[in-house]
Structure 1
Amino acid sequence: MRMSQKGNLMGVEQEAKDLLSFDLNGVPIRLTVDPSRRLVDIIRTDLNLTGTKISCEIGRCGACMVLVDGKQQNSCLTMAYQCEGKKVETIEGIGTEMIDPVQQAFLEEGGFQCGYCTPGMIVSIKALLNENPKATMDELKDGLTGNLCRCTGYGGIYRVLRRITDHQNK
């Protein structure tokens, strides 16, 4: 990717645009974007994938969580150019062929109320399990400290975590 700058040519303001290439949910993406744009804005506005939410915009709530090369990342704090050549996965990329076990646990355990935090919670749990497939209940709880549920639906979320850890120990 070449970096360009905003310029003023003969009194006409011009926006800098750069080619951005990355994989999104297994699909190669090539876009020409302003290098100052955030990943969350590219995902939601340019690519029309609205499962990734915008809430606090300062990386404290987890609603915008995505996987970048398998690791959880707040897309509101990630500049789009930082994903050049990487694999990005949103909630829309999880459980596409068959419902993912984490999604199934959320459904069966009532792990949501309004549902706004649910995509970020699922993405974060997937990242935690990618790093440690045998994570304990406490490790999963600790790993979700960057994800907030405004409805205080943590009882259901903790039932999901218990189901996951119980299933792993069988």
Structure 2
Amino acid sequence: MTMTVNGSPVSLPHDARVSLLDLVREHLHLPGTKKGCNQGACGACTVLVDGERILSCLALAVQFEGRSVTTIEGVGTPGALHPLQAAFIEHDGFQCGYCTPGQICSAIGMAQEIRRGVPSHVTADLAAPDIAPTRDELRERMSGNLCRCGTHNGIIDAIAEIVSADVLLPEPAQ
């Protein structure tokens, strides 16, 4: 049984109780995905599975056999930052940086949701073919990712810049 993590095949653990978060951090030694609350309440562990955002602390690794997982290490590299990573730097969208990997992965998944027309709690017209990525819409969609340092304004500024520039978050590197 295997899955793909950041473009590389990975054997699933023999122990079916291993969370996806623990597989990534402890078995694959990819420290970017953070263990925050370990209860699905903070979003620090957000990764992408087949382009959709999930909380890796609440998922068992064996659930993702044959699927593609992207962690922050698969989003960009120091020499080739993802546009959203560059925007986070430009807009001071991080302070301590602990939540930043989950914020970035969540924002990429969120942008894909908007692209597919998936409404949120604050979407005004549920029948509209296009959803406007207003600040309220972005804040609502990112509300599951907490930043204890209080850089939410910089985070939303970074996401808004990328979404409005229609660099609409290309698929993460595989």
TM-score range, shorter chain: 0.7 to 0.9
Q: Using the TM superposition, give the Cα deviation of residue 88 of structure 1 relative to its aligned residue in structure 2, in angstroms.
A: 0.4
Offset from partner CA, 1:104-157 (integer Å, 9 cap, x none) = 100111110101010000000111122324750332221111100011111211
* Alignment root-mean-square deviation, CA: 1.7
Does residue 146 in structure 1 map to residue 144 in structure 2? Answer: yes
The match for 1:120 is: 102
Q: 1:135 to 1:56 in 2, by over 3 A?
A: farther
The match for 2:91 is: 109
- Kept in 1: contact 2:133–2:164 (CA 8 A): no
Does residue 163 in structure 1 map to residue 144 in structure 2? Answer: no
Mapped to 2, the partners of 1:132 and 1:45 lie a distance apart of 33
The amino acid of 2:155's aligned partner reads I
Deviates more, 1:47-56 or 1:151-160: 151-160
Q: Please, which runs of 5 or more residues in structure 1 have no aligned partner?
A: 1-19
Superposed structure 1 runs of 4+ greater than 6 Å apart: none
Mapped to 2, the partners of 1:161 and 1:68 lie a distance apart of 20
The higher radius of gyration belongs to 1
Paired residue secondary structure (2:57):
coil
- Kept in 2: contact 1:129–1:135 (CA 8 A): no
Mapped to 1, the partners of 2:163 and 2:10 lie a distance apart of 35
The match for 2:37 is: 56
- Kept in 2: contact 1:135–1:165 (CA 8 A): no
Mapped to 2, the partners of 1:167 and 1:31 lie a distance apart of 39
TM-score, length of structure 2 as denominator length:
0.80
The match for 1:85 is: 66
Mapped to 1, the partners of 2:165 and 2:35 lie a distance apart of 32
Q: Give the fraction of aligned pairs with identical amino acids, expressed as a percent.
A: 46
Mapped to 1, the partners of 2:46 and 2:90 lie a distance apart of 22
The total of aligned residue pairs comes to 150
Higher strand share: 1
Q: 1:135 to 1:106 in 2, by over 3 A?
A: farther
The amino acid of 1:113's aligned partner reads Q
Q: Please, which runs of 5 or more residues in structure 2 have no aligned partner?
A: 116-130, 168-174
The match for 2:133 is: 136
TM-score, length of structure 1 as denominator length:
0.82
Mapped to 1, the partners of 2:132 and 2:162 lie a distance apart of 9
